[in-house]
Amino acid sequence: MEFGTIEATKQGVAGGLGVALLPAVAVARELAAGTLVRLPWEPPFTLWTQLAWRSGKRLPPHVRLFVEQAVRLVREQASP
């Protein structure tokens, strides 16, 4: 089964339709509330994420902030 949004996927899983692979940040509230549970499974793969934009293009302030925060988060998670 495939859903169009993370929220729809969460609702399907909470409704008993199956399991899903979702970002931890997207399900933190549901995990804390107990409406979803984390299965003891580690993925057998690495997920890579990239950000890209046109060279020389000025980014709007909100996009610049997003990029800065994403870079900060990745660096924090990479640090031992």
In tens, the pLDDT along 33-73 reads: 999 999 998 888 887 878 888 999 899 999 999 999 999 98
Predicted local confidence at residue 42, as pLDDT: 84
H/E stretch holding 80 reads none
Distance CA 20, CA 37 (A): 11
Which pLDDT band, with edges at 50, 70 and 90, does 74 fall under? confident
Predicted local confidence at residue 32, as pLDDT: 97
pTM of the model: 0.57
Asked whether 24 and 10 are in contact (CB, 8 A), the reply is no
